[in-house]
Amino acid sequence: MNKKEEILSLLESNAKLSAAELAVMVGRPAAEVEKTIADLEANKTILGYNAVVNWEKTSSAPVTALIEVRVTPQRGQGFDHIAQRIFRHDQVKSCYLMSGGFDLMVIIEDKSLKDVAMFVSDKIAPLDSVLSTQTHFILKKYKMNGTEFHSKDEDNREAVVL
């Protein structure tokens, strides 16, 4: 891994690291690291900085569903056009083109089961090139983006080990 990739992987696991801290951690001057990050942001290698939130701990936990969508690709545009028609909706949090038994995997977040179901039946299923949809509701999140949701963070080592 070169320094640029090391910085990316550090930021991916903790976006709160400052450029000054990153500089010390990777052993490069702060100005160089600042420039590297600015370049990565400018060329859209870094697209944003998100917090990993466990919404279950709040009163407004959304319902998340994973929708398998089978579609007919369109001449000259493949899957991109239909994918775009789907992922532009705010409810769609992720959208992937897949190999295997279906084509698009769409991850949707909404307020309730009903909202998700209505969204699929109103906005996705009726599209011309959509052949079928299958909705799977997520019941519990164990791990997301490398973060475990229910791990106990206790250090059970001895107080002093020489």
Chain centroid, CA 67 distance in Å: 15
Could you tell me the smallest distance in angstroms from the CB atom of residue 49 to another protein? 17
Contact set for another protein, span 2-31 (CB under 8 A): 6, 10, 14, 21, 24-27
Task: Retrieve residue 14's tokens.
Answer: 């903790």
Q: Does 160 bind another protein (CB under 8 A)?
A: yes
Stretch that binds another protein, among 76-84, 105-113, 141-149, 151-159 (CB under 8 A): 151-159
End-to-end CA distance of the chain: 33
Residue 143: in which H helix or E strand, if any? strand 143-144
Shorter beta-carbon distance to another protein: residue 51 or 162:
162
Which pairing describes strands 130-137 and 63-71: parallel, antiparallel, or unpaired? Answer: antiparallel
Give the chain's length: 162
Shorter beta-carbon distance to another protein: residue 10 or 117:
10
Residues that bind another protein (CB under 8 A): 1, 6, 10, 14, 21, 24-27, 155, 157-162
